[in-house]
Chains A and B, each alone.
Chain A
Amino acid sequence: MSKNLKLKSARAAKDMSQKDVANAVGVTRQTINAIENGDYNPSINLCIAICKALDKTLNDIFWEDDVNE
């Protein structure tokens, strides 16, 4: 699985650390780290929670276009 750079940039844009996002969505920091590195495929519920925490849509963060694949 490829790295999720969109999530990383959205998090950086909101000046949030992995720990901040993890606390906001109720998971461990390691889970957010694994999602960013492409080591873990999150459930749709977790995706939605992450998007809400970062004020983004599912398309903004989790849709893989040709450039990001």
Chain B
Amino acid sequence: MNKKGLDEMQLQRKYKIGNQGFVMLLYLLLLDTGLYGFGFRWISYPANVMIILTLCSGIYVVRLISGNAFVGPFAKNEKPVLKAVLTALCSVSVAAVIIVLLKNAGFSNAGQIDDMSAPILFITAATGLIIAAVTGVIKRKQNRDDGK
């Protein structure tokens, strides 16, 4: 048997969820394009694609975790608090550096960056937090069900 990664049922479930996620992504992007063609613009350009991508990837991750297809049978049962904090600090500092560099670079003006970057960052972070909360609830429910 495979000692690393997912087992065969988890792999099947993961592929199924992935396929459905890509189809959903395709349809949402087509819907967005179609609405734009009819003159309905629900949100301006970079944010709409960002929101659709975040939504689809978030649903994919939540479905993977709720379907028990995220962690394999031999995953170490560790508490990744320190790793999560370090990753968050690292990502925040990288994002800050990128924004500062883009603002100071000559090829783009500051107004363009300020236009959509704040809402995109806010929406992405908020969606990430919602996904983390939902996955936490799912894990707790699964552990409770296993205990019965």
Contacts and interface: CB of A to CB of B under 8 A. Distances in A.
Physical interaction between A and B: yes
A27 B1 contact: yes
B68 A27 contact: no
B9 interface: yes
Chain B, interface size category, equals 10 to 19
B8 interface: yes
B73 A28 contact: yes
Interface in B36-91: 68, 72-74
A interface, by DSSP: helix, strand, loop or mixed? helix
Interface string B12-44: 000000000000000000000000000000000
A68 interface: no
A25 interface: yes
Given A26-B2, A30-B68, A46 B8 contact: yes
Contacts of B8: 27, 31, 42-43, 46
Contacts of B73: 22-23, 26-28, 31
B9 A31 contact: yes
8 contacts: A25-B1, A27-B8, A30-B68, A31-B7, A31-B73, A43-B8, A46-B1, A46-B8
Interface of A: 22-23, 25-31, 34, 40, 42-43, 45-46, 49
